[in-house]
Structure 1
Amino acid sequence: MIQDGMLSADQLWRLVQREAENVLAGDPAFGASLSSAILAHSDLGSALAHQIGERLGKSAADRQRFARVAGEAFVASPDLVEAASRDLQSIAVHDPATTTLLPPLLNFKGYIALQAWRLSNWLWRQRRNDLALLLQSLSSDQLQVSIHPSASIGTSVFLDHATGIIIGAFAVIGDEVTILQNVTIGRKHSEPDLAPKIGRGVFLSAGSTIIGNVSVGDFAKIGAGAVVEHDVPAGCTAVGVPARLTNCPETDVTA
C-alpha cells in the first residue's frame, strides 16, 4: 500500500477515505463513527482537528474549541498536516499489528497525542504559551502522554502503546524515532537548560530513561528499562542501569 516514497497529505487522505468507505460497506453499524470522524471531512487536517477535539475536550464546548484551534493552526501551517501524514504512514510501515491507515488514525492514542503536541508546539512558537501548556496537561490526563510544547520532534515518529511517555522541555527528537511505553526523556535538576538529543531512527524500548545533557546517535537502540546518562554513539545499543554500550559498529568498538 505504501511504497518507498512518502505520500503527500492529499494522497494519503484519499486512501483513508477509500478505507473508510470499504469498512462502511462491510460493517454499516460503524457508519456513524466513520461519518463524524472521516467521511464528514474534506481533508486530513479537518479530520485531525476533529480527533484532537474529541480526545482532549472534556465537554462539548471544549471539544469544539480545541477542534477550532487545531483547524486554524492546520490552515495557517500546512506543514503540520504533512508531518501528521508522515507520522501516520510510519505507523503503517513499522507496526506489525497494522498495515492500513484508518485504525491508527481512529484508535491509536499515541498518534493523536503526537499531533496534539504538534499543535501545542505551534501555539508555543506563536507565543500562546498558556493554551499550549493547557493542551500538554490535557494530553497527559486524557492520553497518558506528556510532551512539553518547547520540545522539538521530527517526522515519521511512532509512539507505540503510548502510555506513560514523558518528553520534557527542550528535548530534541529526530525523524523516524520509535518510542515505546513508559519512556522518560528529560533534564537533570543540576542542568536545567540542557536536555537530551535523540538522533534519527533511534528505538527507545519500554521503560527506558534518557536524562540530562546526552546525545543518542542515529539508529541507536536503548534497551528496556535502561537508564542513559552518557552519550550513546550512532548504531550502538545501550542496556542496563546505568546503561552500558553493546553491539556497537566496528569503528566505535575500535575507538
Structure 2
Amino acid sequence: MSLQESNVVTLPLDAAARQEVAALWSVLREEAERAVRRDHALLRAMNSAVSMHASFGHALSHRLTIKLADHDIDRDELLALIYGAYTDKPGLLGAAVADLEAVKDRDPSNTEVLTPFLYFKGFYALQGYRIAHWLWAMGRRHLARHIQSRISEVFAIDIHPAAVMGRGIMLDHGSGLVIGETAVVEDEVSILQNVTLGGTGKETGDRHPKIRRGVLIGAGAKILGNIEVGMGAKVGAGSVVLTSVAPYMSVVGVPARPVGRPHTAFPGVTMDQALSEPEYII
C-alpha cells in the first residue's frame, strides 16, 4: 500500500469514536485552509499533511509514517502497520483526538489543533508509543522495540511499549522524557520535559511509578520506584520523588517533601503551577 493510496482505505470506528474523530477532523481541515489563506507558501505542506487525506485516521497515519520510517522499515510497510493498528483498535484514534485537544486547551502558546498535529514531538511520540503498545500486546515484541527505538532517535523521548498510558495526556516539549516498562500514566496528566518515571536500579518486576489522573509533573522531575503519585497531585520541577504522594498534594525538593495546602483541582488540566502557601512555582 503506498502513501498515495491512503485516501481509499476505510478505518472502522465505533459510534462514539467516529463522532469525536469526525469533529476534530473538521476543525483540523478548517485550520489548515485558514493557514493557506494567510500564507500561500504553506499550500503544499497543508495539502500533504491534511487536505489530501480522506479522514483524520488517514492523515495521522501518513504523518506518523513520514516521521518514523527508516531503511529497516520503509514507508509503505510502516503505513500498512499503522493502518492495521487503527483498524484493530479504533479507540487509538479517539485517544489521539483527546491528546490533541489536551495540547490545545493546556498549552498557552497554542490555541489550535493544527500546530501540534503538524509540529509537536510530544504528541507524535505518544502516538508512536500507542502503536508500539499495540504491537507489544500482540506479542510482536521486537517490532514494538523497533518503534520505541525510532521514537527515541527522532523525538528524544523514550517510552517503553509495555507502559500503560491513558487519554488526554500532554507531553509538553518532551525532550529527555523516559517512562519505564511497568509505569502507568492515567488520563488528563501533563508532563513537562526531562522527566523520568523510572526504577531504583535494583528491582525487577513491577518497579515503576503509577501516575494517577490529573497529575502535573514539572520539568526535570525524577519519580523512581513502584510508588503512587495520587490523583490531582503536583510534582515540582527538579524534584526527586522516592515515596508515594497523597492525592491533591504538592511535593518539591530533593528528596521531595509535601508543601502548601491540599487543593481540589486537576493541575494536569489547569496547568496551575503555583502553590497558595508558601509562595512557590513548580
TM-score after normalising by structure 2: 0.84
**SS at 2:175 equivalent:** coil
Q: What do the CA deviations read for 1:60-79 (whole angstroms, capped 9, x no partner)?
A: 96233222211221122110
The question of 1:153 aligning with 2:145 is answered no
1:189 is aligned with what amino acid? G
Of 80-89 and 46-55, more deviation after overlay is shown by 46-55
Which among 62, 65, 82 is matched to residue 53 of structure 1?
Answer: 65
**SS at 2:201 equivalent:** coil
Query: 1:195 aligns to what?
Result: 208
In 1, the alpha carbon distance for the partners of 2:169 and 2:180 equals 16
Of 157-166 and 30-39, more deviation after overlay is shown by 30-39
Of 22-31 and 238-247, more deviation after overlay is shown by 22-31
Query: 2:242 aligns to what?
Result: 229
The list of structure 1 runs, each at least 4 consecutive aligned residues, that deviate by more than 6 angstroms after superposition, is none
The question of 1:70 aligning with 2:82 is answered yes
In 2, the alpha carbon distance for the partners of 1:250 and 1:196 equals 22
The question of 1:44 aligning with 2:56 is answered yes
The question of 1:173 aligning with 2:146 is answered no
Aligned-pair CA distance for 1:34: 1.0
Structure 1, unaligned stretches of length 5 or more?
Answer: 1-5
**SS at 2:81 equivalent:** helix
Query: 1:205 aligns to what?
Result: 218
- 8 Å CA contact 1:191–1:213 kept in 2: the answer is no
In 1, the alpha carbon distance for the partners of 2:36 and 2:72 equals 26
In 2, the alpha carbon distance for the partners of 1:191 and 1:57 equals 34
| 1:250–1:151 CA distance, 2 compared to 1 (3 A) | closer
Structure 2, unaligned stretches of length 5 or more?
Answer: 1-16, 265-282
Which among 116, 137, 153 is matched to residue 104 of structure 1?
Answer: 116
Query: 2:24 aligns to what?
Result: 12
- 8 Å CA contact 2:172–2:192 kept in 1: the answer is yes
The question of 1:94 aligning with 2:89 is answered no
Query: 2:97 aligns to what?
Result: 85
Of 242-251 and 137-146, more deviation after overlay is shown by 242-251
Aligned residues: 246
Q: What do the CA deviations read for 1:2-36 (whole angstroms, capped 9, x no partner)?
A: xxxx9701110011011111212222211111111
In 2, the alpha carbon distance for the partners of 1:64 and 1:247 equals 53
- 8 Å CA contact 2:248–2:263 kept in 1: the answer is no
TM-score after normalising by structure 1: 0.92
Which among 113, 138, 141 is matched to residue 129 of structure 1?
Answer: 141
- 8 Å CA contact 1:174–1:200 kept in 2: the answer is yes
**SS at 1:195 equivalent:** coil
CA RMSD of the aligned region, Å? 1.8
In 1, the alpha carbon distance for the partners of 2:186 and 2:41 equals 40
Of 100-109 and 23-32, more deviation after overlay is shown by 23-32
**SS at 2:74 equivalent:** helix
1:45 is aligned with what amino acid? G
Query: 2:256 aligns to what?
Result: 243
Q: What do the CA deviations read for 1:199-233 (whole angstroms, capped 9, x no partner)?
A: 11111111000100110001111111100010000
Query: 1:3 aligns to what?
Result: none
2:216 is aligned with what amino acid? F
**SS at 2:133 equivalent:** helix
Q: What do the CA deviations read for 1:159-202 (whole angstroms, capped 9, x no partner)?
A: 00110000010100010100110000012232221221001111
